[in-house]
Amino acid sequence: MIRNINYLLIIICIVFSLGIAIQKDQTLVLVLKDISIIFTILIPYISQAIFNVKIDDKIKFIWILFIFFSQLIGVNLNVYNNIYFYDKIIHFTSGIISAYFSLFCLHLLNKYDCKNKLFNYIWMIIFTLSIAALWEMFEYTSNILFKMDVQRVALTGVNDTMQDMISALLGSLILSIIYLFNHNITIFKFKNKIKKIY
């Protein structure tokens, strides 16, 4: 059932983004922005092929739903500019997802002492901050290359960038604290969600 929901959401995102992209008076940059969702929403499936793993449909659903709200609703339908706190909610959610994904990376690499919950806790926060920083660098690069103001520097200075990173950090802290004190959440649960294909 959830697999079919995933496919339906993917189709909706692709169809809507292509529909928006082929509108008249669209610059090449805007067209690329609109159709970039096709790549981002398929990242779990691309990861399966590259890393030779099988990712559980529930994890795919979380990712697809995030891309649906962040990219299709937020970017393609321009909700970021119409609802002020929407951007912060998405960055907060990205912090939770990044922290969760960091455990996936630990399991996938299988090179560290995954039983050490304190190490994992610190790793989750560092990983999330790294993702948030890389995203802001990507936005800054877009500003320079395409003469855009994705970071809203003209309106907010550094406030928007810093608030985005703080929002992601707060999301990460919440999940990592739950992880640290809840002994039922262990990295080894990922063995049932992400299976190495030999």
Number of structural domains the chain divides into: 2
Tell me what pLDDT residue 112 has: 53
Tell me what pLDDT residue 23 has: 77
Instruction: Indicate the residue type of 83.
Output: I
Question: Helix (H, G, I), strand (E, B), or coil: what is residue 31?
Answer: helix
The residue among 45, 78, 111 that closes a domain is 78
Instruction: Say whether both 112 and 185 belong to one domain.
Output: yes
What's 24's DSSP letter? T
Instruction: Say whether both 95 and 61 belong to one domain.
Output: no
* 14 has a pLDDT exceeding 60: yes
198: in domain: no
Give the range of the structural domain holding residue 161, as residue numbers without chain letter. 84-193
Tell me what pLDDT residue 195 has: 57
Instruction: Say whether both 107 and 67 belong to one domain.
Output: no
* 182 has a pLDDT exceeding 70: yes
Tell me what pLDDT residue 19 has: 86
Instruction: Say whether both 93 and 73 belong to one domain.
Output: no
Instruction: Identify the H or E element spanning 48.
Output: helix 43-51
* 196 has a pLDDT exceeding 60: no
pLDDT band at 180 (very low <50, low <70, confident <90, very high): confident
* Residue 131 phi, psi (nearest 5): -60, -45
pLDDT per residue as tens digits for the range 133-174: 998 888 788 778 777 776 666 666 678 888 889 999 999 999
How buried is 143 (Cβ within 10 angstroms: 0-12 exposed, 13-18 middle, 19+ buried)?
middle
Question: Helix (H, G, I), strand (E, B), or coil: what is residue 196?
Answer: strand
pLDDT per residue as tens digits for the range 85-132: 899 999 999 999 999 888 878 877 765 556 778 888 899 999 999 999
Instruction: Say whether both 64 and 118 belong to one domain.
Output: no
Percent of the chain with pLDDT over 70: 82
Instruction: Say whether both 152 and 187 belong to one domain.
Output: yes
Q: Residue 160 is encoded by which pair of tokens?
A: 């928007």
Instruction: Say whether both 111 and 46 belong to one domain.
Output: no
| Predicted model pTM | 0.83
